Amino acid sequence: MSISYQALKQRVLEANLDLPRLGLVSFTWGNVSARDAASGAIAIKPSGLAYECMGVDDMVVVAPDGRVLEGSRKPSSDLATHLELYRYFPALGGIVHTHSTWATAWAQACRSIPALGTTHADYFHGPVPCTDALSLAQIRGAYEHETGVAIVECLRSRGIDPASMPAALVAHHGPFTWGPDAEAAVHNAAVLELTAQMAALTLQLQPGLMPMPQPLLDRHFLRKHGPGAYYGQG
């Protein structure tokens, strides 16, 4: 029995088109993927195709091992990074990679984004981590796969739950965000860009400022997330 991936491809197309609309990408930079929980199939943007030229049939559907299941285009060159994140974090339903200006500036500086205020705390339960720089062997080897390995190792070595920290910076490269679906991952990418800008401007005004108090960070994060959350109408 054949499986239809049309709804998955449509969802991924719309999520990718949100990136330029939100000012998170220029030219052909960036990509969004989404995973179908039932089949395990993953749809992702095609490599190097301009956003204004993309249609639903340009999306590429792959198996968890990267085999193309549907689509005539080459999948994003960052596919192996996405696959590594899905492999190690099975709760993820969507992943976004951009080169958005402010978040990328922090990544190029190889600096984690400190939690300085409640806007940050509403989404990220602590500083947004930056990976270690990739080794020469990683760069010369399976580079995109190793990028995913670096993100996974960054979170695991620091005891970070990807559900409470839906973002990471890759040193010298740029940001990745994720969520339970593609729409949430895009939303987190937009919030990350704003909080990266706020942090940079704050440190210009007050160099050496210490992170916000932990109880305030916890209160703001937990009022929106977790079993005791009370923010919003849900």
Q: Which residues are catalytic?
A: 122, 231
Residue 70 pairs with which residues in a beta bridge?
61
Angstrom CA distances, 54 to 13, 45, 46, stand at 8, 9, 9
Q: How many CA atoms lie within 13 A of 103 on its CB side?
A: 30
Q: How far apart are CA 151 and CA 168, in angstroms?
A: 7
Residue 7 tokens, joined:
């709804």
Q: How far apart are CA 51 and CA 34, in angstroms?
A: 17
What per-residue string of b and e applies to 33-53 under the rule 16 or more CB within 10 Å gives b? bbbbeeeebbbbbbeebebee
